[in-house]
Chains A and B, each alone.
Chain A
Amino acid sequence: MTRTLPWLMVFALSGSQAWAQDTTRSDACGGLRFVNGRVELGRKLEPKGPATEACLRHVAEALMARPAIRSVTVAARLPDAERLDGQGLAVAKAAADVLVSAGVARTRVSAVAPPAVPGEPGQLQFAYVERPAQPRVAQVRAANGDVSAGPSAEALKPRGVGDSLYTGELFQTNKDASAELELADTSRVRVMADSLLRLGAIELGANSKRVVRLELMRGSVETVAAPGGEGSVFEVRTRGAVAGVRGTQFRVSAQEDGGSRLETLEGKVALGADQGEVEVAGGHGSRVLPGAAPEPPRPLLTAPLLNGPRGGSFTTPPKLEWFTVVGAKTYRVELGRTADFAASARTYEAQGQAFTVPTDLTGKWFWRVLPVDADGFIGFPSKIFAFDLRP
């Protein structure tokens, strides 16, 4: 079995490179995730009380926004002393009634009262069943801000972490929003702000052979693909070009006017257009202007060398500094709660060699810098450092 090495791809159609603001809604449940048939809450949900009812209504809204979910089971896990004489089932049924009163069809809600885990306090849990006829092709792994999905642009509904996505569905991020999707072949697609992506066919075969086709209709995406077996296909289509994986690690960008831009970090990537095709080797970039053939490859900007901070705690917002990269016009500064910049990531544009962290960013943040040249080509990312802001 032949396997390619992991590779990275970025496809950007718009000039907007701003990452979403962290607009994660603090709902009554402390967060909501739909993962493998389980509704995971940000906190343990007490069996009764006003806060529980508010959370139940929020869960009901989320369930109704997901037509693929066809039934939900509410479990009241109570200590044995509280389960006597059917009290546990009564609590579960009361919670189910709240879901029904909030709009979930009664025929789709059931209640159970399994024994609690010894030593744990009583809590409510939820599990759901999706329609098996629709194989999931992707799942929302991380989301910042308002993201939505649906079969058409007119039928987009809010989505959150853990939600499943299906073949043919559109996935949209609003301005100041971003998300990371995990495809069925474990590839990851980072959908930038103000983007619209259609999930095409994703087929998995034996010996890790896979076929993945995505259509980027607006905005930009960045993909970290899983290794594929021999004969695998991974394509991102835009209006003007098709980027197909030939090698290991690369980045591609395209512009809103129909042009496309490719930045290959490792291996080779084919950038195809009607007028021709060019293979861009590692460390080089190319672009396709509307109606023209792909330009010859050009070297990418090198990774900036960071000056600091390289760690430590700060009581005031620190100033992030780096050294000049020859040929860079601007710099993209990325901050994230995790080192993979998937969770709560923010992106800023800096003109010089320094950037002062906004005052609202408290806690631990990872940061890195990418140089951008006059034509918008994004160079290699810097090393990743962290800082801890504790005012």
Chain B
Amino acid sequence: MPPSPESPARGMRLPRPSPAMWRGLAGVVGLALAGVTAVTGGAPGLFERGLYDQAASRLLPGVPRSADLVLVEVDDRALSALGERWPLSRATWARAFRAMAAQRPAAVAVDVVFDQPGSRDALELGEDVLGALRDSGLADQPAGAALVADLEARLHAQDGDARLAESLAENGTVILGAAALTEDVSLMPPLADGVLGSPLPLPVDSLRLQAREVAGSIAPLRMAAQGSGTLNMLVDADGVIRRYPYVVGVDGHVWPSLALATALRLMPEQFESLLRRATLDDGAPLMRLPAPDWLPRVSLADVLQADPRSVGLDLALRGKTVFVGVTATGLHGQSTLPGQVAVPGVEIHAFALDNLRADRLMRSSGLVALAGLLETAVVLLLFGWRCRRSRTLRAVALTALGFGVVHVGLVGWLAADFGWVLPLLPACVGLGLMLLVDSAARTEELGRQRGALRRLFVRYPQAAPVPPGESR
């Protein structure tokens, strides 16, 4: 078939891209990965989460034990001792908060939302009986009046919501849990704006956790408590919790998490600096992970059953920041942390508070993401420059290895000492691709030179002059 007029003439070749261009393209791939990581919220990127998890759980220093934090847990032993099933009755909670108040803790953060009133069926039956007594005129007689007074006292004692509100007010340091509702339909009834107290004076648009509405405990409990904080976590697509949302945006307002609300209660003089830290990384910075068993635990059974004058209880709770949550088998939400460390949710709030007040937060977005992008670019540019000056493939490979080691060391050092989490993989991918391209180019060049030599030496015997006197 004759060539079409549009097709290039036979034998004509398009110019081949130079090795430098291929190296540049490979570097652009690495840089693009870093850019995507920066745009999507910072490191760890999608493909380096596993690596980050291993590094964060095994290499980075963990949160050391805090002497002033303690977990009062509703564990299996507490349920067994109380003879109750979850959820505990309001009367039991009232007893628990009253017992804790006796030890004068600095603050009590509760990983529970009392979003529904307790049952009042028995109370309403009692009220009906009271009404019948009064209507019948029996209450006017001495015996009837005594019966009415006794019944009123019993009904008063049975009103769990009221007793719980009293114990919260008596405690005076309780921060209740709340829930930011992110789904269209929630199991919890939403509350109107302002019911969690005063919103924080922070810009709301850039926050990572945005919710439609917020739900909290019933009004008498909110009124009696010192405040409320959201219990939400930010769970990545792989089910791992790497960031803690210290603030949540709801309809133009910003509400604090349980950890931040507790910190503000404990350190009101550091209001500004706490808010500044809490808004790092769009309000949800990466967390340092705790060492195993870093949080001392006290069973709710001990709190309720011990003598209020118990020295052990006093040592465990007095002046401490007490986190209250459920850890009983099958009842608590096991949250998976990096490195597959599963802990009860209440512990995450506790070490989020510890991270916040000690400023151990890790950041990866904003300027840090930009720094990661620049660092990746510098590494790749330097390597590209060195590639052109290296004469052998071995030298190029050693250079790539050197840059990789420096990059990993720099990323690790920034993470460990400054809490800056820079993307690790994009630069490594860029280095690898550039090395691959360079080695391919060098191999091709070697092959081309070898072919030229072979052609030269293959032609040489044919062109060699025949010695005189010899026939061909």
Which A residues fall within an 8 A CB radius of B?
A: 35-38, 70-71, 73, 75, 105-108, 110-115, 118, 125, 127-130, 132, 204-208
Contacts and interface: CB of A to CB of B under 8 A. Distances in A.
B68 interface: no
A114 B225 contact: yes
Contact of A114 (B159, B218, B219, B224): B224
B310 to A, nearest CB: 25
A207 B226 CA distance: 36
A296 to B, nearest CB: 40
Interface of B: 116-117, 120, 123-124, 126-127, 130, 152, 155-156, 159, 161-163, 165-166, 168-170, 172, 184-185, 191-192, 195, 218-220, 222-226, 268
Contacts of A71: 117, 120, 159, 161-162, 220
B184 A114 contact: no
B154 to A, nearest CB: 10
A73 B223 contact: yes
Contacts of A36: 191-192, 195, 219
B218 A35 contact: no
A229 to B, nearest CB: 9
11 contacts: A36-B192, A36-B195, A36-B219, A37-B222, A71-B117, A71-B161, A73-B224, A75-B224, A127-B219, A127-B223, A130-B117
Nearest to B162: A110
A207 B120 CA distance: 34
A37 B218 contact: yes
B185 A75 contact: no
A37 B184 contact: no
A107 B127 contact: yes
A204 B120 CA distance: 27
A306 B81 CA distance: 76
Nearest to B173: A115
Contacts of A105: 127, 130
B161 A37 contact: no
Contact of B162 (A35, A73, A130, A204): A73
A189 B226 CA distance: 36
Contacts of A108: 127
Contacts of B218: 37, 127, 129
Contacts of A114: 168-169, 172, 223-226
B283 to A, nearest CB: 25
Given A36-B192, A71-B161, A127 B172 contact: no
A115 B172 contact: yes
Contacts of A127: 165, 218-220, 222-223
A112 B184 contact: no
A345 B161 CA distance: 40
Contacts of A110: 156, 159, 162-163, 165-166, 220
A105 B124 CA distance: 11
Contact of A107 (B159, B166, B168): B159
Contacts of B225: 114
Contacts of A107: 123, 126-127, 130, 152, 155-156, 159
Given A107-B130, A112-B220, A132-B116, 8 more contacts: A37-B218, A75-B223, A107-B123, A112-B165, A114-B169, A114-B224, A115-B226, A132-B117
A218 to B, nearest CB: 31
A107 B150 CA distance: 12
B185 A125 contact: no
Most buried by B among A36, A125, A130: A36
Most buried by B among A70, A106, A107: A107
Nearest to A114: B169
Nearest to B193: A36
A206 B219 contact: no
Contacts of B156: 106-107, 110
Contact of B223 (A35, A125, A207): A125
B192 A35 contact: yes
Contacts of B220: 37, 71, 73, 110, 112, 127-129
A367 B163 CA distance: 51
A241 to B, nearest CB: 32
B114 to A, nearest CB: 11
A110 B156 CA distance: 8
Contacts of B219: 36-38, 73, 127-129
Contact of B120 (A70, A112, A205): A70
For the complex of A and B, the 7 pairs showing the least CB-CB separation, nearest first, are: A37-B219, A110-B162, A112-B169, A127-B219, A73-B220, A114-B169, A127-B220
Contacts of B224: 73, 75, 112, 114
B431 to A, nearest CB: 45
Contacts of B165: 73, 110, 112, 127
A132 B187 CA distance: 13
Contacts of A75: 169, 223-224
A105 B11 CA distance: 104
Contacts of B152: 106-107
A35 B191 CA distance: 9
Most buried by A among B163, B191, B219: B219
Given A127-B223, A129-B218, A208 B184 contact: yes
Given A38-B223, A132-B117, A207 B162 contact: no
A108 B128 CA distance: 13
Contacts of A70: 117, 120, 124
Contact of B117 (A115, A125, A129, A207): A129
A113 B161 contact: no
A130 B127 CA distance: 16
Contacts of B126: 107
Contacts of B116: 132
Given A75-B223, A207-B184, A113 B169 contact: yes
A130 B224 CA distance: 17
A332 B178 CA distance: 47
Contacts of A112: 165-166, 168-170, 220, 223-224
Most buried by A among B117, B124, B130, B168: B117
A208 to B, nearest CB: 6
A36 B120 CA distance: 19
B139 to A, nearest CB: 13
A127 B169 CA distance: 13
A128 B219 CA distance: 6
Nearest to A111: B166
A105 B159 CA distance: 13
A344 to B, nearest CB: 21
Contacts of A130: 117
B185 A206 contact: yes
Nearest to A72: B220
A107 B124 CA distance: 9
A38 B224 CA distance: 12
A208 B224 CA distance: 35
Nearest to A118: B268
Contacts of B169: 75, 112-114
Contacts of A38: 195, 219, 223
A113 B165 CA distance: 10
